[in-house]
Structure 1
Amino acid sequence: MLSRIKAVFILIEFVITVLIIIVLMYIFRDKTYAIRQRWAKMQSFLMGFNVIQKGEIDKDAQLLLLNHQSLVDIVVLEMIYGKDLCWIAKEEIAKIPLFGHIINAPKMIAIDRKDKRSIIKIIKESKDRLSKGRVIAMFPEGTRGDGAKLLKFQSGGKILAEKLNLKVQPVILTNTRTILDSQKFRAKSGNVSVTFLDTITPSDDEQWYEKMKDKMEECLKHELANNSSHR
């Protein structure tokens, strides 16, 4: 019961504060990264979670590929990453009245997954964001999983990395779904772990995408097996 009450509070607070930072990002267009980072830190406090970071952030990485299980995933990365992230998101989010501006205001990239030509847009807009010193971030699974295993990886991340020859850093998040499960409407305090794996250069190995997923799967299993340290 308490977890459901907390979930209601968090989701209401989340919507209200997102609308506020959207306005702020339109007013202070050159400070969108700082606004998002401060908002993320506030979310960490209100949701009651701590972040346990493992591995090193590669400052030369150009593309982050992460597993996805909760809204908290984005909050965690925005909070701890030291550069302006450009998230690749579903076009449906950008079309949500008012709330969709969370994609448009900071110039994230929205894609139509049903349109095969959308990869052209991803490549073009990613190239533009990278030229401005931003780092591209995306969820190769394409949707949220249950946190226990990785879903099938879509081809977008692979094509993007290979076409632009990007340095890719895979990232594994665990326990974020426990902090906020918007599908089951539950929330609780606790620890979240984020593991930065070794950076990969696609041109070094034709099978890099498949091997990367295997390493991410192995890391996820290891973290879940030692999950007692996250509680």
Structure 2
Amino acid sequence: MTHAHRTATTAGHVLRSILYYVLFYGGSVLLGPVVATRMLLPGTGFVQTVHAWTRWHRWCVVHVLGIAIRIEGPVPSGPLLVALKHESLFEALDLPVLLDRPAVFAKMELLRVPAWGKAGRRYGLIGVERDQGAKALRQMIAEARQRTAEGRVLAIFPEGTRVPHGRQPPLQSGFAGVYKLLGLPVVPVALDSGALFRGRWKRRGTITYRFGETIPPGLPREEIEARVHAAINALNPVERA
């Protein structure tokens, strides 16, 4: 298989990408006051606005960039932990379209960004400290349990940060701890967005989400890490030098 990120950049890539930036980010600026207003009001209007924004992003990806989205396997719902490969900004923005109002583990630095962080908290993002002590860990797990009590699915990027397509780093050590403390089944998700979406100029093609088999809770650390690592990298063959 020849991945799109190995092809030369064409005028079409550049033009489609510029149009995508204008439409998506321009639309985001226009939507900003609506989000801010609905944050101050009770009810579901705020969440509906966030979902409209993420659906707008998916529309721009499909109809402007020419990227098809393929889903393999059943999409889970309810109180469980979805562990995803993380190759680009695409999946971070697309999660509310893919899953039913997911509660996502996010870096605490993002939740400290003015306005954006407040909106993320209101939606239900769960803050993760880079070097969290016992108190911060307890707070994170308490927030996660509250979200599962609401019937929401939890979403986590176990590699901790975006990884270029073709790289398979070990999982962050905190993932096994979250898995153990929450006692939830895990659904691993492989995807290959980095081949098309990473970098300034986006490329046409297909981004695939592949949902793996559900992994039960209570496994030893070595086993859960090995199974999740293998599953999330199923669409991400290691690059040869």
TM-score between both structures, scaled by the size of structure 1:
0.81
d(CA) in 1 for partners of 2:157 and 2:101?
Answer: 17
Q: Which segment is superposed worse, 121-130 or 145-154?
A: 145-154
**Cα shift at 1:135:** 0.9
Larger Rg computed on CA atoms = 2
Count of aligned pairs: 219
Q: Deviations over 1:14-49 (max 9, x none)?
A: 752663563265135435544333322211112333
**Cα shift at 1:166:** 0.2
Asked whether 1:211 is paired with 2:224, we answer no
Specify the code of the residue in structure 2 equivalent to 1:216: I
Specify the code of the residue in structure 2 equivalent to 1:47: V
Please show how residues 58-207 of structure 1 align to structure 2 within 5 Å.
Answer: 58-59=76-77, 62-81=80-99, 83-117=100-134, 118-176=136-194, 178-179=196-197, 181=198, 184-204=199-219, 207=223
Asked whether 1:12 is paired with 2:25, we answer yes
**Cα shift at 1:140:** 0.7
Percent identity of paired positions between Structure 1 and Structure 2: 20
Specify the code of the residue in structure 2 equivalent to 1:220: N
d(CA) in 2 for partners of 1:102 and 1:120?
Answer: 22
Q: Which segment is superposed worse, 127-136 or 212-221?
A: 212-221
| 1:72–1:177 contact (8 Å) kept in structure 2 | no
Moved over 6 A (4+): none
Tell me: CA distance 1:172–1:218, structure 2 relative to 1, closer, same or farther (3 Å).
Answer: closer
Compute the RMSD of aligned alpha carbons: 2.7
d(CA) in 1 for partners of 2:35 and 2:156?
Answer: 21
Question: Which secondary structure state, in structure 1, belongs to the residue aligned with residue 119 of structure 2?
Answer: helix
d(CA) in 1 for partners of 2:158 and 2:34?
Answer: 27
Question: Which secondary structure state, in structure 1, belongs to the residue aligned with residue 162 of structure 2?
Answer: coil
Q: Which segment is superposed worse, 137-146 or 104-113?
A: 104-113
